[in-house]
Amino acid sequence: MADIPAVKVGVPFGGGGIDISVLGDRELMAKLNSLASVEGKKIMRKALRESVKRLRKAVIVKVSGGFFKHPSGNLLKALKATTIKAAKRSRTGMAVIWPWPTRQTLGISPDDKFYYPRAVEHGHVRAPARSFIRSTVNENQRGEFVLIAKDIRIGVERVWTKGR
């Protein structure tokens, strides 16, 4: 249990299930294959949700401290107020999203054509991008894959031991 084998996660559903392969641990792969597809989806959804929660915290830390030269005010409050949601159900994949804050949450008038968080993230004609979301995801990507694999392994083992 000390070493976590590589877990390959295929997001598209194949024949009604998620393709999750465990590399380097045949016993765990056998356990995974014996799970019902519903349990596999629950495990995967929980692992994705935990990953987005960790990334959300990292983005909030980046916005709140030093990344911007001035206090971020409404953007920070709005990012803290938005919640993680499951994406629309699909037969071809699964996703957990953290949506952009609404104009109302940011205090932007409905008549205003500008939406500044996207302008900060992606840049615009007179200002370069100062990505606070994409850069956080890129910085944490490798570690998140390891943590997702660990969460899936824990979920599979939990379901397996519960069913024994």
67/121 Cα distance (integer angstroms): 12
- Specify whether the CB–CB gap between 21 and 8 falls below 8 A: yes
- Specify whether the CB–CB gap between 23 and 8 falls below 8 A: yes
Q: Which residue has the higher pLDDT, 17 or 127?
A: 127
- pLDDT tens for 35-88 read 666 777 788 888 888 988 998 888 888 888 755 555 567 888 888 888 888 777
Enumerate helices (H) and strands (E) in the chain, giving the number of each: 6, 4
Determine if residue 104 is left, alpha or beta; phi over 0 gives left, psi from -120 to 50 gives alpha, anything else beta.
alpha
* Overall pTM > 0.75: no
Query: Residue 35's pLDDT is what?
Result: 64
Exposure class string for 18-38: b at 16+ Cβ within 10 A, else e: bebebeebeebbebbeebeee
Query: 149: closest CA among 37, 51, 67, 14?
Result: 51
Query: Residue 12's pLDDT is what?
Result: 42
pLDDT band at residue 18 using 50, 70 and 90 as cut-offs: very low
Q: Could you tell me the residue ranges of all domains in the chain?
A: 6-163
